[in-house]
C-alpha cells in the first residue's frame, strides 16, 4: 500500500493548502517598490541578503566588499573613458552596474549599523551646506 493511498481527498487538499502556506511564508519575495525611498532600498537589501545567504557577513567583510566594488567602478570608468589600456580578456562591468553594486553594499553596511541612510543623508547635507567650497 502506497503512502496516502487511502487518504480522503479533502484531507489531501487541506494538507496541500497548508503546505503551500508554509512554503510561501518561507520564501522571501524580492520586490523593490516603484519609486522606492532609501528605506525601501535598505529593506530590499536586508531581504536579498537573507535570500542569498549574505546576512551573516560582518561589517568588516562588507567594507572589504565595498572597496572591491569601488575598484570595479574605477575600472569600468577607466574603460569607458579610455583612460588607460584595458586587458580585453578581463571582465569589466558597466559603470551603472558597479554603482548599483555599491548602493547594495552601502545599504548592507547601514543595515548592520542600524543607520537610516535617508536621515543620515539629510543630516550630513545640512552640515555640507554650511561648508565653504573654494
Ligand atoms: Mg561589481
Q: What is the pLDDT along the chain (134 residues), one digit of tens a residue?
A: 565 567 788 888 888 887 776 665 556 678 999 999 999 999 999 999 999 999 999 999 999 999 999 999 999 999 888 888 877 777 778 999 999 999 999 999 999 999 999 999 999 999 999 999 88
**Residue 113 falls within a domain, yes or no?**
yes
pLDDT on residue 46: 97
Distance 105 CA to ligand 1 centre (A): 10
Distance 108 CA to ligand 1 centre (A): 14
**Residue 6 falls within a domain, yes or no?**
no
- How far, in Å, are 28, 56, 80, 96 from residue 51 at the CA level? 7, 11, 33, 23
**Residue 96 falls within a domain, yes or no?**
yes
pLDDT on residue 2: 60
**Residue 104 falls within a domain, yes or no?**
yes
CATH at residue 121:
1.10.287.1080
**Residue 3 falls within a domain, yes or no?**
no
**Contact criterion met (CB below 8 Å) for 125 and 71:** no
Distance 16 CA to ligand 1 centre (A): 41
Distance 26 CA to ligand 1 centre (A): 29
What is the 3-state secondary structure of 62-83?
Answer: HHHHHHHHHHHHHHHHHHHCCC
pTM equals: 0.76
Q: How many domains does the chain have?
A: 1
Amino acid at each position: 500500500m502506497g503512502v496516502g493511498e487511502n487518504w480522503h481527498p479533502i484531507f489531501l487538499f487541506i494538507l496541500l493548502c497548508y503546505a503551500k502556506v508554509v512554503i510561501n511564508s518561507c520564501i522571501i519575495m524580492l520586490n523593490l517598490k516603484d519609486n522606492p525611498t532609501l528605506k525601501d532600498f535598505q529593506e530590499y537589501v536586508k531581504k536579498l541578503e537573507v535570500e542569498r545567504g549574505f546576512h551573516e557577513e560582518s561589517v568588516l567583510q562588507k567594507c572589504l566588499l565595498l572597496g572591491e566594488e569601488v575598484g570595479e567602478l574605477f575600472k569600468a570608468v577607466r574603460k569607458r573613458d579610455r583612460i588607460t589600456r584595458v586587458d580585453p580578456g578581463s571582465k569589466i562591468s558597466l559603470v551603472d552596474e558597479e554603482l548599483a553594486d555599491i548602493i547594495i553594499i552601502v545599504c548592507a553596511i547601514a543595515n548592520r549599523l542600524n543607520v537610516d541612510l535617508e536621515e543620515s543623508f539629510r543630516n550630513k547635507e545640512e552640515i555640507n551646506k554650511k561648508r565653504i567650497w573654494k
